[in-house]
Each structure stands twice: as C-alpha cells, then as structure tokens.
A = this chain, B = another copy of it.
C-alpha cells in the first residue's frame, strides 16, 4: 500500500508510533521482571504503590479514582491482594457500604522491596539520557499531555 499521507502527517504518525513502542517496550520489561523476579504484576504493584503513598488507607472509590481505572477493576485486584495477605480491608463503622483498604505489615515490607527494584530498573532504562535531555523529553511530553483534544472533531 502506497503511503499517501503528506509529509507532516507521516512525521506525526512516526512520532506517535515511536512513543507508543517505547512506552510499551519499557512496560513489557517491567511486567516481565515483576513476574519473573517478584512473582507479581504491574496492576498489583500500582495498587500497592497507591496504598504505600496513602498511609491512612483509601476507600475503593478513592483508589480507583487515584489510579484512574474503573471501580470494578479495583475490586478484582484488591481481592487477590487480600488473598495474598498483602492488604487489609476494614469496614467503615459509620458507613456500612464503605471500607478502607491499606497495606498489611507484610504488604508494606513486600512493597519496600518491590519499589527499590522498580527504581533500579527505571534508573537502568533511563540511563541513555543525561539530565538536560531527560528534561527536554519531560517538557515535550508535557506539551502533548496537556493538549486537550476536542472530543467532537
């Protein structure tokens, strides 16, 4: 198939595909390492990171809002983390619909290990860029992220 787009559009597509591929590659590396070296998954890590950040615990809805995923999604991940004994759920005494979720002591210890390895991996992956370059990258990405797209093109 002949590429019939103009030069500008081709460049845009090229950048988007590279952005997607780079991000996906790094994500895949993290997922593989979390699985092989730590027997866990990225979604579990993300939930644990959120709870580590919020020491007082979070409600289910607060958790899904913070992670920007659906509330039904969090239900499953939290259930499995609870089965593994890494998080604890406590019923809200004033609101019987709600519960507060937080890391268990073993969950805290576990996450401490995970976070350290995770940071090392990212350090390794980001190695090729010096401070100035990574600042440039950050700025350019922010420009893309902050550009609100009109949903009704």
Contact = CB atoms under 8 A, between A and B. Distances in A.
A70 interface: no
A109 interface: no
Q: How many copies does the complex hold?
A: 2
A127 B140 contact: no
Given A9-B122, A16-B126, A122-B16, A140 B143 contact: no
A149 B125 contact: yes
A22 B134 contact: no
Interface string A11-53: 1111110111111111101001000000000000000000011
Interface of A: 1, 5, 8-9, 11-16, 18-27, 29, 32, 52-53, 55, 119-129, 131, 133-138, 140-147, 149-151, 153
